[in-house]
């Protein structure tokens, strides 16, 4: 059977211009193990982007596999309204010990965008039910990304995803995001007092009375090109939201479970949000599941007699799916018992040093920024002016295609190439990945 032809006949792939597939045919993956994927022809690819950032502990992890197999013979799914099950309860007991202190209540959904929708509705309804009906809008950073359902798109500001849908979207208050590589204040990421935070202060001064919540990707704006900003910014944001009675919603979907070197990005700043969204690495990339976690105070605003109409009438068919919960339980056991995040620290330093050594002096590499094992290589036309390549050149995409030839899955974000590997990657795999990346870059942009 011609799998490639069958794929093209039936499947409309996500985040793709399908006309590109005329040249670069879909790669049909047959199996995976650890950091490697293998196609139907036996060719290997190092999955350096963790299959859209969710594959936390490698493909086909034996312990996660076994936990899922054990659960399959007990219970595959049940309605989660008025019913519950052991894996969901056990998972909450595990998570309560690692999430920021003060977060206590877990609302399950089935993907990151749904988790964000839940958080927005939760904040909106809370203010409505606590005497602040004028608070109907949301505030977010420019270049942010929070998912692709209508509410999530409304608080995301990347035109690539949202521009065409603007007539459908909520009127979000947009605040200029920190851009440490091209800082308009002439500062640097490690030597500033987050002067750019004045943009948030001005917006809250003006709009706090009508704002439900400020939603943010903590420390790392992923789809904007892995933009990294200081923990101090997040501390200031927490304090400002408290001052103005605006909820702080932290989107830890991409940053949670060790991606930034700590369990959550919030931990770098030592802050507790009012609402936190988690997904992706939650199940190790095995099954779709997300959780919106909030405080007792917010929960209590919905707790009343049914006829008062205060219940949170938000539901998903697959909320709290027991098989997904079992995968997530295995992830937590592995992280805790095998000290995965602690062991990733020296590997993070090693990876960054290898990339710097190989590429920092390249004439078209403007900045190499990193947090945890995440490394972003920003390609520029001119290092001195920091001018990027024209988007029509699709420079990152050209390098991505070449990297595939060398067996490296290096999906770009515009002119930014990034490494976001499974936490279990070893030094030999790091060496191979960097070598293949350097070859691909030098083929398209000779040193």
Asked whether the beta carbons of 266 and 276 are under 8 A apart, the reply is yes
Report how far residue 257's alpha carbon sits from residue 290's, in angstroms, rounded to the nearest whole number.
Answer: 13
Res. 68 pLDDT band, cuts 50 70 90: very high
Average pLDDT over residues 314-326: 96
Report how far residue 193's alpha carbon sits from residue 204's, in angstroms, rounded to the nearest whole number.
Answer: 19
What are 166-221's pLDDT values in tens digits? 999 999 999 999 999 999 999 999 899 999 999 999 999 999 999 999 999 999 99
CATH code for 3-60+341-444?
A: 3.90.1150.10
Asked if the model's pLDDT at residue 160 lies above 90, the reply is no
Any idea which fold 66-337 has? 3.40.640
| CATH code 3.90.1150.10 region(s) in the chain | 3-60+341-444
Average pLDDT over residues 423-447: 97
Res. 159 pLDDT band, cuts 50 70 90: confident
Mean pLDDT of the chain: 97
Q: Taking the CB of residue 302, how many other CB atoms lie within 10 A of it?
A: 17
- Please report the sign of the dihedral spanned by the C-alpha atoms of residue 343, residue 346, residue 349, residue 351: negative
Burial of 267 from C-beta contacts in 10 A (0-12 / 13-18 / 19+): middle
| CATH code 3.40.640.10 region(s) in the chain | 66-337
The pLDDT, as a whole number, for residue 381 is 97
The pLDDT, as a whole number, for residue 162 is 82
Report how far residue 279's alpha carbon sits from residue 255's, in angstroms, rounded to the nearest whole number.
Answer: 9
């Amino acid at each position: 059977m011609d799998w490639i032809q069958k794929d093209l006949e039936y499947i409309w792939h996500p985040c793709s211009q399908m006309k590109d597939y005329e040249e670069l045919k879909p790669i049909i993956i047959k199996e995976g193990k650890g950091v490697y994927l293998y196609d139907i022809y036996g060719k290997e690819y190092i999955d350096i982007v963790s299959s859209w950032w969710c594959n936390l502990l490698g493909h086909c992890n034996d312990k996660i596999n076994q936990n899922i197999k054990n659960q399959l013979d007990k219970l595959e799914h049940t309605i989660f309204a008025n019913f519950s099950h052991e894996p969901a309860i056990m998972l909450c007991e595990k998570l309560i010990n690692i999430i920021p202190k003060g977060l206590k209540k877990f609302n399950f959904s089935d993907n990151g965008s749904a988790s964000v929708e839940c958080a927005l509705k939760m904040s909106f309804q809370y203010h409505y039910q606590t005497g602040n009906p004028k608070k109907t809008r949301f505030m977010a950073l420019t270049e942010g990304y929070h998912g692709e359902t209508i509410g999530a798109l409304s608080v995301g500001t990347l035109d690539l995803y949202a521009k065409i849908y603007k007539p459908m979207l909520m009127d979000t208050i947009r605040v200029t995001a920190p851009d440490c590589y091209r800082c308009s204040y002439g500062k640097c990421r490690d030597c500033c007092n987050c002067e750019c935070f004045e943009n948030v202060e001005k917006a809250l001064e003006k709009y706090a009375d009508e704002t439900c919540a400020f939603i943010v990707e903590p420390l790392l704006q992923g789809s904007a090109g892995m933009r990294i900003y200081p923990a101090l910014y997040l501390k200031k944001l927490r304090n400002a939201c408290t001052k103005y009675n605006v909820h702080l919603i932290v989107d830890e979907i991409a940053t949670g479970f060790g991606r930034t070197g700590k369990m959550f990005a919030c931990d770098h700043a030592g802050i507790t949000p009012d609402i936190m969204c988690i997904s992706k690495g939650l199940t190790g990339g095995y099954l779709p599941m997300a959780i919106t976690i909030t405080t007792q105070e917010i929960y209590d605003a919905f707790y009343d007699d049914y006829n008062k109409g205060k219940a949170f009438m938000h539901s998903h068919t697959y909320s709290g799916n027991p098989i997904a919960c079992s995968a997530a339980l295995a992830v937590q056991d592995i992280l805790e018992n095998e000290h995965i995040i602690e062991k990733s620290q020296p590997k993070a330093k090693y990876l960054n040093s290898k990339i710097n050594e190989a590429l920092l002096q390249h004439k078209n590499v403007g900045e190499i920024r990193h947090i945890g094992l995440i490394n972003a290589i920003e390609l520029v036309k001119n290092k001195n002016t920091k001018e990027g390549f024209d988007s029509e050149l699709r420079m990152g995409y050209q390098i991505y295609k070449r990297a595939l030839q060398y067996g490296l899955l290096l999906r770009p974000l515009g002119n930014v190439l990034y490494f976001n590997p499974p936490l279990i990657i070893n030094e030999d795999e790091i060496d191979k990945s960097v070598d293949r990346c350097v070859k691909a870059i030098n083929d398209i942009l000779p040193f």
